[in-house]
Amino acid sequence: MSKVAIIYDSATHNTEIMAKAIAQGLESEGLDVKLTHVHEATIEDILGIDGLVLGSGTYHHEIMPALEVFIDQAKNVDLKGKTGAAFCSYGWSPEVVDLITNRLKGFGMNTIDGLLIHEKPDEAGLAKCREFGKNIAKIVKRE
């Protein structure tokens, strides 16, 4: 069974809500999903995975600091050729998805377009999150 790790940071719980909906989409396609808040995540959480999905709120137009530290630590893990994706709940500045995606590309990961939701996801936003998870699952299963 393919394994995907979702690691996120969320100051207002909006990104956490997204993470849970993305996990539902992945699980609905039969993937083994490990959903972890970055404060509880360790590098061991991404060993042996087939996909890595990172989520962050926006912190002064940047990735949340704790997730940035985790990404820095992840550079020592061989993620080349794995599927990578980013998602973000944002208020003013949506560039965090691109920042995370570029870091995943730097690991040699095969990335897909990220998902942006403005502030708290409504029902339509949650449906987008679940669909995002399903799309990631389909890509992971092909690799």
Domains and CATH numbers, the chain: 17-109 (3.40.50.360)
Average pLDDT over residues 65-92: 95
Helix, strand, or coil (residue 30): coil
Q: What is residue 50's DSSP assignment?
A: S
Q: Which token pair is 22?
A: 């993305």
Q: Specify whether the CB–CB gap between 26 and 55 falls below 8 A.
A: no
Average pLDDT over residues 46-63: 94
Closest listed residue to residue 10, CA positions, set 69, 46, 63: 63
Residue 60 pLDDT level (bands cut at 50, 70, 90): confident
Mean pLDDT of the chain: 96
- Please tell me the distance from the alpha carbon of residue 29 to that of residue 12, in angstroms, as a whole number: 28
Q: Phi/psi at 54 (nearest 5 deg)?
A: -115, 135
Q: pLDDT at residue 114 above 80?
A: yes
